[in-house]
Amino acid sequence: MREFVKKILFYFLNTVKVNEKVTVSGFSRGLQNVIFEGKNAVPDRCNFSGNIKIGYATTLGYNNQLSGTISIGRFCQFGADVACHATNHPVSTMTTYINKNLFQGELKLLKEENEIVMGNDVWIGHGVIIVGNINIGNGAILAAGSVVTKDVAPYTIVAGVPAKPIGKRFSESIIQEIETLQWWSLSEPELEKIKPLFFKDFKNRDSIYE
């Protein structure tokens, strides 16, 4: 009987729900705190709190945690176990404790409120943690396991604890061309016209049009 109940629960908890904006698989909390732009995907065990915007075609990973004021661009991809924390406990007051068990939770007013702003086409690896007042540029890559506490420039690869730049994806001239093109803002017919550009390898090149 117990195994039967488990199977029933597993079935319902993993039912895929699709609406005009987002596909939700499994059980996630706080979806009412998110504005989805469309063609988004939320897998099992994601948790949202605060004021969150997720751009067109951006897909999240299993067990993502997003809290605070967060704006995510278009065509971003999140790995599993990624956490974005735009809020923090107070550190210069008597205590960091802001739970309701002390002064009925009044100390929550002292919570540090920041903002995380993420550009378009950002790839976030497994287990990345983003904390604080952070801006992440277009095309950035956050390597798996990184703890990001500072801004990340466009098309920069960062890794480590704390995360530090380890390289650029492209030459500066190519970065400028892609930033000017802003392909993530194009319509599907417009994207079809430049489709061959997406299959080019830009290594050791100075222009996307070579």
Task: Give the per-residue pLDDT at 18.
Answer: 58
Task: Give the per-residue pLDDT at 19.
Answer: 73
Task: Give the per-residue pLDDT at 20.
Answer: 74
Task: Collect all residues with Cβ–Cβ distance below 8 Å to 90 and sequence separation of at least 6.
Answer: 96, 98, 107, 110, 111, 112
Show the domains of the chain with their CATH numbers: 2-169 (2.160.10.10), 171-210 (no CATH)
The span from the CA of 164 to the CA of 182, in Å, is: 26
Task: Collect all residues with Cβ–Cβ distance below 8 Å to 202 and sequence separation of at least 6.
Answer: 170, 171, 174, 208
- Indicate left, alpha or beta for 136 from its phi (over 0: left) and psi (-120 to 50: alpha): beta
Report the predicted TM-score, pTM, of the whole model to 2 decimal places.
Answer: 0.89
Catalytically active residues, by annotation: 89
85: nearest Cα among 123, 109, 114:
114
The span from the CA of 24 to the CA of 12, in Å, is: 12
Q: For the chain, which ranges sit under pLDDT 50?
A: 9
